[in-house]
Amino acid sequence: MKTKTPSWRKTSPASYFLLASITFLSIFPFYWMFVVSSNTNAEISKSPPSLIPGGRFLIVAKKVMSAEGVFFNHALLNTFIVGLSIAIAQVMFSAVAGFAFAKLDFRGRKSFILFVVGTMMLPSQLGIIPLFMLVKNLHLIDSLLGLIVPALVTAFGVFWMRQIIDAQVPNELLEAASIDGASVPRVFFSIVLPIIRQSSFVLGLFAFLAAWNDYLWPTIILQSPQHFTLQVALTQLKPMYGLDYALQMGGAFLATAPLLILFIFVGRRLVSGVMDGAVKG
């Protein structure tokens, strides 16, 4: 028996039109970065401006890489090191603590988790001055470690991991293992970790992207251009006199391209990560 499609299941052409528009608006700024950086400033400043890529991208890319006092290739490497270190550390710290909060019965479990969730409400700039003083006293100013160490753990990561482990790791499995005599660390490493591998990867991605795009903290503690991350380096891509749109946009494009390439491979997983973390109902 064939039933009539209920009205709420139909898709109108208007839906596709709206989706196509938002797709265009989402992609256009990236396209525009490329257009501006591959044309001369004159081509962009005329009216109407050139809307198609020109042939100067490699020249501009070279200019970005060799811009005086910027060290763009250093910045690329620095950002990569910082992002990767933070991602790995956050996943490890969060998984270990999240597992304890989800599955282990210890004194203060409830108050600890309440306390951690409570602090998630605090805006990050509240503690930023003492954090700067602390990092200065540890002699980590103007170093990549100064970026990495304060970001090793986050309340969000632990909270996320607790939810994930709670939802994905069945209690019966752990019970069976513990009755067979497996110790808690053993249970964690050989049962819990393999199950949450996928979600750990998503948390790591979030951490990596956040670190890659962070600007406030790097701009506070970094001083010498060799230690700059991409975001700070980008802000230095200004010529002494006037404006060089091609140079700035070329930098922006080069700083974003690695993320776009990464996104091609992990975009879908990020989507499900965002949606899994959403509040249902």
Q: Pick the closer one to other proteins by CB: 15 or 168.
A: 15
Q: Which two tokens stand for residue 183?
A: 């110790």
Q: C-alpha angle 132/135/138, rounded to 5°?
A: 150
In what helix (H) or strand (E) does residue 59 lie, and over which residues does it extend?
helix 57-66
Nearest approach, Cβ of 207 to other proteins (angstroms)? 13
| Residue type at position 33 | M
Nearest approach, Cβ of 48 to other proteins (angstroms)? 6
- Alpha-carbon distance of 101 to 18, in angstroms, equals 43
Q: Alpha-carbon dihedral of residues 241, 247, 252, 258, nearest 10 degrees?
A: -150
Q: Pick the closer one to other proteins by CB: 49 or 239.
A: 49
- Closest by alpha carbon to 32, among 49, 51, 59, 45? 51
Nearest approach, Cβ of 200 to other proteins (angstroms)? 15
- Closest by alpha carbon to 148, among 98, 214, 203? 214
Q: Pick the closer one to other proteins by CB: 96 or 195.
A: 96
Nearest approach, Cβ of 59 to other proteins (angstroms)? 19
DSSP state of 55: S
The SS3 call for residue 223 is coil
Q: Pick the closer one to other proteins by CB: 45 or 66.
A: 45
Nearest approach, Cβ of 4 to other proteins (angstroms)? 10
